[in-house]
């Protein structure tokens, strides 16, 4: 009688992954990667894509309203002029706001660089600086809104300087963007605090900083379009 002996070096068959909803939840919770991109980064890209459609609709609606109205549109150089030293300087505040936001994009990029070098203190500090720039931007935007509402009498439904649609489109677009900046500031503060406390030291995975950077760079990019179409046109 012949006896079959199993080889000690034989590799046991791999367990088949669970199927159905259970398998989907198992893949999701284990952070499986598709096309070498983690779920976290993929979800952020999907969110940014959907947000791109929303901002595109807002800006397209603004351009359509502006071209269709028969009432003269207010001159942005006059509406957004800042009175300094007895003279009105066109778009001075807007230029400062743009400089602050673009600078914050640079500090955020450096934070991501330090994150992947495992320099958590430098990373957290640069993220806090980025959040500070964001708060400064929102503060200047609040000043701009106050000036238009209190001093100029602009409302979402009326505008003493020209077309009534100016107020509704301005407050809707800049307000929606300001909300994104405010949420981004909170997001950066939370991630920076976790980085500073060494939350990601055990795993060495600082990709959350890059994901936060994607959101912040998107907010900066949207402002470039708002600045060009709303303040320069």
Q: Is residue 7 part of a domain?
A: no
Q: Is residue 31 part of a domain?
A: no
Which pLDDT score, from 0 to 100, does residue 16 have? 62
Which pLDDT score, from 0 to 100, does residue 25 have? 72
Which pLDDT score, from 0 to 100, does residue 199 have? 84
Q: Is residue 26 part of a domain?
A: no
Which pLDDT score, from 0 to 100, does residue 18 have? 65
Q: Is residue 29 part of a domain?
A: no
Tens of pLDDT, residue by residue over 122-165, are: 999 999 999 999 999 999 999 999 999 998 888 988 888 889 89
Q: Is residue 139 part of a domain?
A: yes
Backbone angles phi, psi at 34, to 5 degrees: -115, 125
Which pLDDT score, from 0 to 100, does residue 5 have? 43
Which pLDDT score, from 0 to 100, does residue 8 have? 47
**Residue of 93, 79, 104 whose CA lies nearest to 221:** 104
Give the Cβ contact number of residue 78 at 10 Å: 11
Which pLDDT score, from 0 to 100, does residue 29 have? 63
DSSP readout, 138-201?
Answer: HHHHHHHHHIIIIIS--BTTB-TTS-THHHHHHHHHHHHHHHHHHHHHHHHHHHHHHHHTTTTT
Tens of pLDDT, residue by residue over 76-116, are: 888 888 888 778 889 999 999 999 999 999 999 999 999 98
Cα–Cα distance for residue pair 219/213, rounded to 1 Å: 10
| Domain encompassing residue 204 | 37-231
Angle between helices 165-196 and 92-116 (to 10 degrees): 30
Q: Is residue 16 part of a domain?
A: no
Half-sphere exposure (CA, 13 Å, Cβ side) for 30? Answer: 10
Look up the CATH number of the domain holding residue 84. Answer: 1.20.120.80
Which pLDDT score, from 0 to 100, does residue 78 have? 87
pLDDT at 6 over 50: no
Identify which of 6-20, 84-98, 172-186 has the greatest average pLDDT.
172-186
Which pLDDT score, from 0 to 100, does residue 34 have? 55
The residue with greater pLDDT, 9 or 182, is: 182
DSSP readout, the chain?
Answer: -------TTPPPPPPPPP-HHHHHHHHHHTT--BTTB-HHHHHHHHHHHHHHHHHHHHHHHHHHHHHH-SSPPPPHHHHT-EEETTEEETTHHHHHHHHHHHHHHHHHHHHHHHHHTT-HHHHHHHHHHHHHHHHHHHHHHHHHHHIIIIIS--BTTB-TTS-THHHHHHHHHHHHHHHHHHHHHHHHHHHHHHHHTTTTTTT---HHHHHHHHHHHHHHHHHHHHIIIII--
Backbone angles phi, psi at 75, to 5 degrees: -75, 115
pLDDT at 14 over 60: no
Tens of pLDDT, residue by residue over 189-231, are: 999 999 998 888 777 678 999 999 999 999 999 999 999 998 9
Q: Is residue 57 part of a domain?
A: yes
Q: Is the dihedral of CA 122, 128, 134, 140 positive or negative?
A: negative
pLDDT at 9 over 80: no
Q: Is residue 2 part of a domain?
A: no
The total of structural domains in the chain comes to 1
């Amino acid at each position: 009688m012949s006896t079959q002996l199993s080889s000690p070096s034989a590799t046991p068959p791999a367990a088949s992954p669970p199927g159905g909803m259970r398998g989907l939840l198992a893949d999701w919770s284990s952070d499986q990667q598709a096309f070498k991109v983690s779920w976290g980064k993929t979800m952020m890209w999907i969110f940014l894509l959907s947000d791109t459609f929303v901002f595109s609709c807002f800006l397209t609606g603004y351009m359509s309203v502006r071209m269709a109205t028969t009432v003269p549109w207010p001159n942005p150089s006059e509406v957004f002029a800042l009175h300094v030293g007895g003279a009105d300087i066109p778009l001075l505040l807007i230029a400062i706001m743009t400089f602050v936001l673009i600078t914050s994009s640079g500090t955020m990029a450096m934070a991501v660089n330090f994150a992947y070098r495992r320099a958590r203190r430098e990373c957290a500090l640069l993220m806090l600086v980025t959040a500070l720039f964001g708060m400064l931007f929102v503060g200047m935007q609040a000043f701009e809104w106050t000036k238009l509402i209190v001093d100029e009498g602009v409302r979402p439904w009326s505008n003493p300087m020209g077309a009534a649609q100016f107020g509704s489109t301005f407050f809707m677009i800049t307000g929606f963007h300001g909300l994104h900046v405010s949420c981004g500031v909170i997001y950066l503060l939370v991630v920076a605090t976790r980085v500073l406390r060494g939350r990601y030291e055990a795993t060495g995975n600082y990709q959350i900083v890059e994901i936060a950077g994607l959101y912040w760079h998107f907010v900066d990019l949207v402002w470039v379009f708002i600045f060009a179409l709303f303040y320069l046109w």
